[in-house]
Amino acid sequence: MDKYINNMGFKIVYFIAGPKIVEDMINKGLLDTLFCTMSMNIVGNNIFDTFIRGDILRRDIRPFLMNIFLSGEGKGKKIKQVFYKFNFGK
């Protein structure tokens, strides 16, 4: 995928992906910005994924938190979702 992106000369690529693709994009230095949505629910089983899977990343990754948006609903505006925007310093 990274060869295709580079060969096509794309400047911006938007993708929705699971942890394996995100891990590959981070390791190959192709991820500039990560948008993350977190639902405010507690789950207690192993079917929910993390950002990445597998071994430790090949290099130290320290994204910069650019924005946080809290989304509430109802009369008391209880927080239901948190939206994050991270920059990877490119």
**For residue 25, what is the domain's CATH number?**
3.40.430.10
Band of pLDDT at residue 78, cut at 50, 70 and 90? confident
Report whether 20 contacts 53 (CB < 8 A).
yes
pLDDT per position as a tens digit, 1-48: 667 877 888 777 778 877 778 888 888 888 888 888 877 666 666 666
Record the pTM: 0.63
In the beta sheet, which residues pair with residue 84? 36, 68
pLDDT per position as a tens digit, 54-65: 666 666 677 899
| One-letter amino acid of 28 | K
Residue 50: which domain range? 2-87
Torsion, Cα of 50, 21, 87, 47 (10° steps): -10
Report in angstroms the alpha-carbon separations of 41 from 26, 48, 80, 81. Answer: 27, 12, 8, 9
Domain count, the chain: 1
- Flag whether pLDDT at 85 surpasses 80: yes
